[in-house]
Each structure stands twice: as structure tokens, then as C-alpha cells.
Amino acid sequence: MFNIAIDGPSGAGKSTVARKVAQSLGFVYVDTGAMYRAIGVHVMRCGLPTDDEQAVLSVLFDAKIELTYVNGEQRVLLNGEDVSVDIRLPEASMAASNVSAIPKVREYLFDLQKNMAAAKDCIMDGRDIGTVVLPEAQVKIFLTASAEERAKRRYIELQQRGTPVDYDELLAEIRQRDYNDSHRTTAPLKKAEDAVEIDSTNYSIDEIVAMILKIAEERR
């Protein structure tokens, strides 16, 4: 199987880019961040703190996460319910950062992610895909952007969805998540040694997609 791994901080455009690359190549797109967000939403719905390891583990195995595809678009199911919108809310972002720092949560999703990559040509994005989940991926990309640019993108996205949000709060949350993700003990966010780094701050989505497609073509 041919695998493409895209890592990088929250809001760098990984999901949008990965989805477009997958469509161009006819690959399966696996959004691992959505899985952690779904776990975070599950814990919050249980009324438990997402930064309390024992609390998270007490309900972890009650969460059945599935990725389905409707008209080519990935949908995320939590215990049979489509939570694709709920997992994109700001509180779900921080919840995902908290639960993803727990080793047993990562173990719970690791096998599912590996099996997906072994079954079909796929592109997978997250925080530790090139370093932990798919260290043998033929193409590894580290996609980043300034914190201000990422906050601006998320602000516009949420405004378009009709979700009121404060830009300064978003920026603070993104900076905090960057710190949490890069300083956690288990599978911290970092660039794989053989990854190609792309700073998306001054590039359009289509330009970044073209860059990745060129790299993939060279390595296939």
C-alpha cells in the first residue's frame, strides 16, 4: 500500500489539504484528529473532565468510533451518531488535545488507524502519523502556519457556520494546544526526520495540494 502522512499543529489546514489530495489520487482519507475529537466529545457528554486520565478511561471503551464516507466526504460516527459538526467546535479542540495525551487513548485508536493504512492506499493526518502511526509512509509532510494565521482561519470557519467566537480566545486556545501537543510525554507533535516541511501561511490550499501531489508522484 502507498501511504501519505501529514502532521502539523491545529489549524494548519491538514484536513482540507489531505481531503483534496485523497480525491486527486483516489486514496482513502483518514482524519485521525477527528477520532480524538470524538473521544473528547464523548467524555464531555458524560459530564467528565477531559484532562483527568482516570475519568477518561472510565468511559473510553464505551465510545465506538467509526469513519464513513457520504458522497466522498468523511463523516465521523460516535456510537452510531454523526458528530461531524460537534467535533469541530472550539471546546472539542481542547478536549481532543487533553485526551490525546493519554497513552491508553492512543493505544485504543492506534490499531484502527494502522489497519486502515494496511488495507488501502491512504492519506492520514494528525500529530504523530509520520513519527509513530505510519513511520514507513512513503511520503511524510509536516504542514504548519503561524498561530495568528491559524486562528484567523478557524475564526472565519466558525463565523461561516454561524458559531459566535472571539478571535483572541481562539488564538490563546491554539497557542495552548500547540504547547500541550508538543510537550506531552506520549507521541508529542514533532516533525519526522524525513518529512518535508511546508509552511502554509502564504500559500493557497490548491498550491499546497499541488506540492504534495508532485512529491507523491516522484516517490510512487
137 grid coordinates: 509512509
More confident residue, 91 or 42: 42
**Contact, 6 vs 124, CB < 8 A?**
yes
For the chain, what are the domain ranges? Answer: 3-219
Element containing residue 215 per DSSP (H, E): helix 205-219
Separation between Cα atoms, residue 37 and residue 87, nearest integer Å: 5
50 grid coordinates: 477531559
- 184 pLDDT band (50/70/90 cuts)? confident
- 80 pLDDT band (50/70/90 cuts)? very high
- 67 pLDDT band (50/70/90 cuts)? confident
Separation between Cα atoms, residue 164 and residue 106, nearest integer Å: 31
State residue 12's pLDDT score: 92
* pLDDT beyond 90 at 73: no
Separation between Cα atoms, residue 56 and residue 160, nearest integer Å: 32
Share of the chain above pLDDT 90, in %: 71
* pLDDT beyond 80 at 54: yes
- 90 pLDDT band (50/70/90 cuts)? confident
Sheet holding 73-78, edge to edge: 65-70, 73-78, 81-82
68 grid coordinates: 464513513
| The amino acid at 186 | T
Pairing of strands 73-78, 65-70: antiparallel
Task: Give the 3-state secondary structure of residue 201.
Answer: coil
State residue 104's pLDDT score: 94
- List helix spans (H) across the chain: 14-25, 32-45, 53-60, 90-100, 103-119, 147-160, 167-183, 205-219
State residue 187's pLDDT score: 80
State residue 69's pLDDT score: 80
State residue 116's pLDDT score: 87
Segments of 34-121 assigned E as strands: 65-70, 73-78, 81-82
* Fold (CATH) for 3-219: Rossmann fold (3.40.50)
State residue 151's pLDDT score: 94
